[in-house]
Structure 1
Amino acid sequence: MLFHIAQVFAFGLGGPKAQKPVADWLNRSIMQGWLLTGSTHRFRFNYTPPTDRPLIFVANHQSMFDISPIAWYLRQYTPVFVSKIELGRGTPSVSYNLRKSGAALVDRTDPRQAISEISRLGQRLKEGACSVVIFPEGTRSRDGQPKPFAGAGLAILLRKCPNALIVPIAITGTGKFNPEGLFPLRPFTRMIWTVLPPIEPAGLTGEQVARQAQEAIFGNVPTEQSI
């Protein structure tokens, strides 16, 4: 609630540029709160993304807690998320940040609306206003095993910004930590985010890009039992 109020004041005084650092520290504080459960997180860079090219980060999806480390550790790239429309309302700080950051809030029951929202975000990517984070599974994998990636969202983004570089992120452990909704949280969970080498999308379809990203991520996501 405090961060929600702080974001409202920051946005009112200085617009998105003032609101973003507040949202960044919100995500940092969420991660610090995990320490109270005895759980740990690690963000690894097997590849350091460039700052002079549009970027699309592609990640598997295990939990709502996937998001904060991406937002914090990749903050220099101004990551903006493709998210389901339901998250745009009802959650203090989080919903406000999604709306004010310009996230693509997708209605999965309305394909036309979804295409329009992702296209709008793709245009911002092309203009250099942000990077994009997309979870091609569409919904989170509760057992930690990635689901097949869909390429439709990636295809829309690449039509708008064909020179974007695809950067996979493999996430492990968050599904074990947060198996349902916001609670319960399982203590002493080890969570890892790994930024993987990029995929050049030139000459590839959205489905082909999704398949390559899926293979890279699958190779770096162990079973929950082995974490």
Structure 2
Amino acid sequence: MHYLRSVVFDAVVVIWTLFLSPTLPFLRLFNASSAQVRAVSQLWANGIVFLLKYVVGLDYREQGRQNIPNGPCIIACNHQSLWETVALSAIFPEASIVAKKELIDLPIVGWYLYKYPMILLDRSAGRQALRQMIDEAKRAVGEGRKVLIFPQGTRQAVGEPVTFHTAGIAALYSSLDIPVVPTAHNSGLFWGKKTLMIHSGKITVSYLPLIPPGLDRKEFQSKVEQAIVDEAGRLLKATGAT
């Protein structure tokens, strides 16, 4: 049954994406603003979340929502599956997500990512990439938006050792002077790293107490990493996965 639901979900996602794709030439022709592009993107993302719930039977719940400030902040989240890349963009519709630059090569979706605008990181460009990331993040914060980053850099399956690429999150923390909300979830239990098979259930997303700006870089890195690792482990234990 899970396999059949997953196949149906994949097929409907393609149909949903094609249904919205005619908006692309109109948005380009009329030089749509980033707010207009985000509106269409949010419609797409919320549609995916809807399909996950009603086709696959995969829903989510949030814990610690009171820890999210009203204004700009950095949301630092663990990365286990494709779920959080879509669901968190729906949960935080104004957030600018740090993503790898290669994603702009995707048909249709890539243009929307570029115009959203996401913070697209060229991981081969070293310090130049960090400077560009900081500049784009400052622009997002200046617009009153949040910044969402996955400090692991790539998806890591449940049970794999958790490793962080700390240069990006540390650079943002040092440069933006805004709080960081460590965030953890257990999406990998329902949607694996290297599979299209999706299981029904309820993902838990947990927002932890914020880390204020102004800490020493090493102290900050230790706090944010430990908070994410500990909470991710707690969520796995709560579901009996460990």
Q: Verify same fold: TM over 0.5.
A: yes
Q: Does 1:64 align with 2:82?
A: yes
The residue matched to 1:223 in structure 2 has which SS? helix
For residues 177-201 of structure 1, give each alpha carbon's deviation from its aligned partner in whole angstroms, at most 9, with x where no partner exists: 1321xx5222224322222211113
**Preserved CA contact (<8 Å) 2:155 2:193:** no
Per-residue deviation, 1:146: 6.3
Q: Does 1:188 align with 2:200?
A: yes
Q: Does 1:100 align with 2:115?
A: yes
**Alignment partners' CA distance in 2, 1:175 and 1:8:** 38
Structure 1 residues 175 and 126 mapped into 2: Cα distance closer, same or farther (>3 Å)?
A: same
Q: Does 1:218 align with 2:229?
A: yes
Instruction: Please tell me the residue identity of whatever aligns with 2:69.
Output: P
Per-residue deviation, 1:166: 0.4
Partner of 2:8: none
Partner of 1:6: 23
Greater shift, 134-143 or 186-195, is seen at 186-195
Greater shift, 190-199 or 5-14, is seen at 5-14
Per-residue deviation, 1:167: 0.9
Give 5+ residue unaligned stretches, structure 1: none
Structure 1 residues 146 and 154 mapped into 2: Cα distance closer, same or farther (>3 Å)?
A: same
Structure 1 residues 140 and 189 mapped into 2: Cα distance closer, same or farther (>3 Å)?
A: same
Q: Aligned runs of 1:41-60 on 2, under 5 Å?
A: 41-52=60-71, 54-60=72-78
For residues 42-100 of structure 1, give each alpha carbon's deviation from its aligned partner in whole angstroms, at most 9, with x where no partner exists: 23334242224x3111000111221222111222xx1011111121221433x222211
**Alignment partners' CA distance in 1, 2:36 and 2:159:** 36
Per-residue deviation, 1:175: 5.5
Structure 1 residues 175 and 18 mapped into 2: Cα distance closer, same or farther (>3 Å)?
A: same
**Alignment partners' CA distance in 2, 1:65 and 1:218:** 19
**Alignment partners' CA distance in 2, 1:145 and 1:190:** 22
Partner of 2:6: none
Per-residue deviation, 1:8: 4.8
| TM-score normalised by structure 2 residue count | 0.79
Per-residue deviation, 1:10: 4.2
**Preserved CA contact (<8 Å) 1:61 1:139:** yes
**Alignment partners' CA distance in 1, 2:41 and 2:91:** 13
Structure 1 residues 167 and 188 mapped into 2: Cα distance closer, same or farther (>3 Å)?
A: same
**Alignment partners' CA distance in 2, 1:40 and 1:153:** 30
**Preserved CA contact (<8 Å) 1:80 1:131:** yes
Structure 1 residues 213 and 145 mapped into 2: Cα distance closer, same or farther (>3 Å)?
A: farther
Instruction: Please tell me the residue identity of whatever aligns with 1:216.
Output: A
Structure 1 residues 9 and 226 mapped into 2: Cα distance closer, same or farther (>3 Å)?
A: farther
Q: For this pair of structures, how many residues does the alignment match? A: 219
1:89 to 105, 125, 129: 105
The structure where helix makes up a greater share of residues is: 2
Structure 1 residues 190 and 51 mapped into 2: Cα distance closer, same or farther (>3 Å)?
A: closer
Structure 1 residues 31 and 209 mapped into 2: Cα distance closer, same or farther (>3 Å)?
A: same
**Preserved CA contact (<8 Å) 1:144 1:175:** no
Instruction: Please tell me the residue identity of whatever aligns with 1:138.
Output: G
Give 5+ residue unaligned stretches, structure 2: 1-17
Q: Does 1:152 align with 2:167?
A: yes
Partner of 2:137: 122
The residue matched to 1:147 in structure 2 has which SS? coil
- Percent of residue pairs bearing the same amino acid type: 22
Per-residue deviation, 1:112: 3.3
Larger Rg: 2
